[in-house]
């Protein structure tokens, strides 16, 4: 079933490219999109348990930066201002990364591990949460 993104004002039903276009065209701010997604995580994640860590402060700060860049006529790339999730299998510097394994419960990714997430942040948007790794990929399946 395809949801017509123009028929609803809820940003979480839109595609990433649609959100980026709407942010670029000043139809919605990155801050508004971020707040909608953060609220949706609070609303749905207790049941789904898909998001293991939410970076609310960082997401809000980065959304503000994205809005300021739009106001200056700057673009960070195709998905400017659109939040993304990062799977736990992708290490983020100085961030706990359990890979959904009890054996990794105290592991914190080293500083050098930030290369991939820094590329996402530079080119497109920012990450506002970490998503759970399936047990099969963490050696539990």
Residues 25-59 have pLDDT tens digits of: 999 999 999 999 999 999 999 999 888 889 899 89
Domain residues of the chain, as ranges?
5-133
- Kindly tell me if the per-residue pLDDT of 100 is higher than 80: no
DSSP state of 14: S
Nearest to residue 131, comparing CAs of 96, 101, 89, 103?
89
User: Which pTM does this prediction carry?
Assistant: 0.74
- Kindly tell me if the per-residue pLDDT of 5 is higher than 90: no
Token match 């709407």: residue?
22
DSSP secondary structure string, 60-99?
A: HHHHHHHHHHHHTT---STTTT-EEEEETTS--TTSB--T
| Tokens representing residue 131 in the block | 């998503």
Q: Where are the alpha helices (DSSP H) in the chain?
A: 16-24, 30-48, 56-71, 115-123
* pLDDT, mean of residues 60-76: 94
Instruction: Return the pLDDT at 3.
Output: 46
- Kindly tell me if the per-residue pLDDT of 126 is higher than 90: no
C-alpha 101/C-alpha 42 separation (Å) is 24
Instruction: Return the pLDDT at 96.
Output: 82
- Confidence category of residue 108, pLDDT binned at 50, 70, 90: confident
């Amino acid at each position: 079933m395809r949801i017509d993104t123009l028929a609803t004002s809820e940003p979480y039903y839109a595609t990433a490219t649609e959100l980026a276009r709407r942010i670029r065209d000043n139809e919605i701010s990155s801050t508004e999109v971020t707040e909608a997604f953060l609220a949706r995580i609070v609303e749905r994640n207790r049941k789904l348990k898909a998001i293991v860590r939410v970076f609310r402060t960082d997401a809000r700060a980065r959304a503000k930066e994205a809005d300021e860049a739009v106001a200056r006529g700057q673009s960070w790339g195709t998905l400017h201002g659109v939040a993304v999730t990062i799977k736990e299998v992708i290490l983020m510097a100085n961030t706990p990364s359990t890979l959904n394994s009890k054996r990794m419960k105290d592991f914190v990714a080293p500083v050098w591990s930030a290369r991939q997430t820094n590329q996402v942040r530079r080119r497109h948007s920012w990450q506002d949460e970490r998503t759970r790794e399936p047990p099969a990929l963490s050696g539990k399946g």
